[in-house]
Chain A
Amino acid sequence: MVNKMSEKKAEAEQPLIDAKGRRADGRKLDELRPIKLQVGNLSRADGSAYIEHGRNKIVAAVYGPRELHPRHLAQSDRVLLRVIYRMATFSVSDRKRPAPSRREHEISMVLRQALEPMLFLKMYPRAVIDVFIMVLEADGGSRCASVTAASLALADAGIPMRGLVAGVAAGKIDGKVVLDLSDIEDKIGDADVPLAMAPDRGEITLLQMDGKLTPAEFSEALRMGEEGIHQIQEMQRAVLLEKYAQIREKIGEDKDAPKEMEEKPEEEPKVTKKRIKRAKTEKKDAKPKTTKKSKSSKTKDEGSETKE
């Protein structure tokens, strides 16, 4: 059987950084690719998230805490976190065989270990929390984007967490340390450092590397990666806050809509404006608390709502 050529020869000969210091896709050395995040995108999962990171397209689903099968895997004092990373057969240039590969097994493991420190494992003894990650399209750095999505999906499922984890790779191309390697930069570059962190806790939860770097270059890659992760974390927070602002607006409408409708049926637009404003101010208040202690911040938000 003859397979399609996996790499275009022409691409390999092009420089990865041009004379003006711009990368092949026009980015600066320390610039992230465009990132789009969604939560609650999978209707049958308990929690879910979708990420587009560059051309990576990844969905993550979370189930649980739920009963564990097979039973003998149960741990009497803590929950089992099961993480499965899989690639769709059409997510890469040459069709991936449907059975899980060695690479997918290893990535599943490092992803599990990247997420586990954020959970309160002893809250759910004998149960399981399942995280299923499907890469629909891969474009370099899919394991890092998977961490970002999986962590969001866990938060979307309402599972208490110490913090959110986000991931991005740093690396070296054409002799320079850069942030967020694209597919081609990863394949023909000099080094790749996949990284995931809980940035507000200063904790590195996933770290791998291949290629060649001096210790100084490696620290620079780490610094750049952390900076990128801070930016991604802001986007994660924003998308979660957006979700809860929408829920709040919905609940608010249900509660007082009939009253207002009866009194002033014509002034609907004004009412919506007011409501959006309220949602915005609450958003600000809630910001530092949502990720750290979801339980306490929830009760506080509810309290402020009744006050108003």
Chain B
Amino acid sequence: MDVITEIEREQIISLLREGKRLDGRGFDDVRPVSVTQDRITKAEGSAEARLGKTRVLAGVKIQVGKPFPDTPDEGVVITSSELFPIASPTFELGPPGEQAIELARVVDRGIRHSNAISRSDLCIKAGAFVYLVLVDLYILADHGNLIDVASIAAVSALMKTKLPQVKITDEGEAEVLETTTSLKMGPPPLTVTFGKIGDSIFVDPNLAEERVLEARISIAIDGDDTIAAIQKWGATPFSRQEVTDCIERASKIVKKLRKQLPKG
């Protein structure tokens, strides 16, 4: 459990009441963002994303496997994450807990329900072989708002992903070839998270703000400006007006964010 001093907590709250933030940002300002793609040569795709001092490394591995019975002509995209203790003194060893699972599932839903990757493109032979696209997220430094950084890392890694070509032999087996093709991808979904403290709702909470947070809402905006996923967290409610405001603000923030991210 992260702790925060009483004086810092009070400072954050009283600044927010005046419409200010501890690090000087406005309520709709995201910390500086940067992305390095192709960090890991053994991964089929990889990227490290930074938002302020928060760093997440995403790697993509491709496997050839069977489709799910209810979607025989669609490939599979699965995102998982691990909060290994290198990223924070409060992360503990052991199987993924609540936070790691929520993180992976929110990022996963954003990608899964977006139009960016067509899952029928990932079908090799209907009912028999499809590509499994496995995105793994590793946090390198937690300075707040892991969800948004992880979503940037994941889509940036997918943009660079190479699919090994597969030949179906006469015996009906799948043979993985040395040659590759690029994974086709449209404008990616991006997730924007708002924190709520009292009546203040602000984007991209940093670590200090997260420790005071009463609730947050993450909104994945797809390439065509539709909403692909939403997650509300925390035992403090939002009003309907607050939620619709957040969606409007998220859409504007994502437009700006896209300009700062790699295009392919």
A residues near B, CB below 8 A? 1-5, 8, 42-46, 48, 55, 57, 59-61, 63, 66, 84, 86, 88-93, 95, 98-99, 130, 132, 134, 136-138
Contacts and interface: CB of A to CB of B under 8 A. Distances in A.
Nearest to B48: A136
Interface stretch (B26-34, B81-89, B191-199): B81-89
Nearest to A139: B42
Contacts of B174: 2
A156 to B, nearest CB: 13
Interface stretch (B137-145, B147-155, B226-234, B242-250): B137-145
Contacts of A138: 42
B42 A90 contact: yes
* 6 closest cross-chain pairs (CB), A and B: A90-B59, A90-B43, A95-B61, A61-B86, A1-B65, A89-B136
Contacts of B185: none
Contact of A63 (B57, B89, B141, B143): B89
Given A44-B141, A137-B40, 15 more contacts: A3-B63, A4-B64, A5-B176, A8-B178, A57-B40, A61-B85, A88-B138, A89-B59, A89-B134, A90-B44, A90-B59, A91-B40, A98-B80, A137-B42, A138-B42
In the complex, which of the residues A43, A57, A61, A88 has the most CB atoms of chain B within 10 Å of its own CB atom?
A88
Contacts of B53: 43
B20 to A, nearest CB: 25
Contacts of B164: 4
B42 A98 contact: no
In the complex, which of the residues B86, B138, B178 has the most CB atoms of chain A within 10 Å of its own CB atom?
B86
Contact of B42 (A45, A59, A61, A91): A91
B66 A1 contact: yes
A63 B85 contact: yes
A59 B41 contact: no
Nearest to B43: A90
Contacts of A42: 86-87, 140-141
A95 B174 CA distance: 18
Given A1-B63, A44-B88, A136 B40 contact: yes
B86 A134 contact: yes
Contact of B84 (A3, A134, A137): A134
Contacts of B142: 44
A93 B43 CA distance: 7
Interface of B: 39-44, 46, 53, 55, 57, 59-66, 80, 82, 84-89, 93, 95, 129, 134, 136, 138, 140-143, 164, 173-174, 176, 178
Nearest to A61: B86
A132 B57 contact: no
Given A88-B136, A89-B134, A2 B85 contact: no
A98 B95 CA distance: 9
Contact of A134 (B65, B66, B89, B138): B138
B64 A43 contact: no
A56 to B, nearest CB: 10
Nearest to B207: A44
B34 to A, nearest CB: 15
Contacts of B138: 88, 134, 136
21 contacts: A1-B63, A1-B64, A1-B65, A1-B66, A2-B129, A4-B63, A4-B164, A43-B143, A44-B88, A44-B89, A44-B143, A57-B40, A59-B140, A60-B86, A88-B40, A90-B40, A90-B42, A132-B85, A134-B138, A136-B57, A137-B40
Contact of B63 (A45, A60, A95, A130): A95
A100 to B, nearest CB: 9
A152 to B, nearest CB: 14
Contacts of A45: 86, 89
Contacts of A3: 63-64
A223 B41 CA distance: 32
Nearest to B80: A98
Contacts of B66: 1
Contacts of A130: 85
B61 A90 contact: yes
Nearest to A45: B86
Contacts of B88: 44
B57 A43 contact: no
Nearest to B85: A132
A90 B46 contact: yes
A43 B176 contact: no
B59 A88 contact: yes
A155 to B, nearest CB: 17
A91 B61 CA distance: 10
A222 B95 CA distance: 39
Contacts of A132: 84-86
A88 B87 CA distance: 14
